[in-house]
Structure 1
Amino acid sequence: GKEKTFKTKNSAKGIGENQLNELYNCMDVYCHPFTSGGQELPIQEAKAAGLITLVTEYSCGTDSCYEHQGGIPLSWNEYREPQTQFVKASTCPYDIASKLQKVYHMDETDKYILINNGINHVKKNFSVDSIVRKLKKILFSLKKPKPKEEEKKEGGPVDFEDILDKNPEDRILIVMPESAGDVFMTTSLLPSIKKNYPDKDLYFATKKEYLPILEGNKYIHKALE
């Protein structure tokens, strides 16, 4: 029955740091293949516990997979997420086996150097002080600047048509005012839109603070505020 079910995970109460350290101490090497995503905490925990880390050389993995970071990169093949077409990584199993063998046959001196590189990398980039500094920098950069007096505009209001190129039948306007995540997600649709309407110029309208997300996008003819 349900009362006899074994719970394999619990988001409310996990293992303590001592137990976690014992878990990492059972390992000879830490291997972390992944498809995509943000920074993975276990990679840094494994480095701090003195483990050489094998990490996929993609996305957040490039912050942890190189020798000066105490890691060894794993090769991967690209595939696309359905609909969004986001690039995903499929880590090569043969390379995982090859890198495990590399660590197995590695000289103890080389292991020692890699392990210390990893520990120093975590201390420098993921310590409490380091993270607090990064968060403060981000938060202070988000502070709303003091309002400035708008410069007096000469003449009448700007006609929207004036900021567009001619031939209105050759335009497609995409409007996404909010938010940074939505703007970024919407850009994944641009390749298919351009493929279906190759003769159309794509205009993308959003708020001023999100315009940097669109910089350098080859599918956008012009970004509008």
Structure 2
Amino acid sequence: MTILIAYWPIRGLCEYVYLALEYLEVPYERKTYTAENMNEWYKEDKYNLGLHFANLPYLVEGDFKLVQSLAILKYVGRKYGIFGGDSIEETAHQEALIEHVNDLRSRFSNLCYCDRDLFEAKKVKYFEEFGEELKKLDDWFQERKWMNGDKIFVGDFFLWHTLDVHDCMVPGILEEYPNVTRYKNEVQKIPQIDRYLKSEVYRRFNINAPWANFGCYAGL
């Protein structure tokens, strides 16, 4: 059964779900709400699809419906064997890794959507602190191929996306961190991911909504 993923035409909170599905080669379709059809979401689908706490992105697979990007990511991972461990402790460890990446993503999002007059000053301070996070990640990857060790899991696609949007804002920001750079390159060299990143569907700089300070998509 084909999975439907619905979201805005930006990378935002859904790119890592797309990456996981592309890696798994699971058939899926995208429903995209744009300026032309956004009322279909706000006036119809939001209230009529039977979504609990309706939000974007959402997933529909037959009668099953789910919202919240991380819940969707973990659902896909569980279903296709790239999330969860053989014990409660191992699964909790993977959850913690995902939560750590979400902290990084949230800070980046706060920067992108901060007051426009404060953006440049905040950006300088932000990337000074982000260097410390990259050092921690560089140490982490010194003895690990993937985020969780030798086996890739859904958190790797979340981290790859988070690293990439930072590199979009400050090109070359990762170059001082060889293990992080190696890791990011390893993810994008995976044949399924490489194919996706070179496809017409992928748009690297459609990161945020039009009112953000960076990576804005104008079609909303």
Q: Report which of the two has the higher share of helix.
A: 2
Normalized per residue, the structure richer in strand is: 1
Give yes or no for TM over 0.5. no
Comparing both chains, which one has the higher relative contact order based on Cα–Cα distances under 8 Å and sequence gaps of 6 or more?
Answer: 2
> Could you state the TM-score of these two structures normalised by the residue count of structure 2?
0.26
Bigger radius of gyration: 1
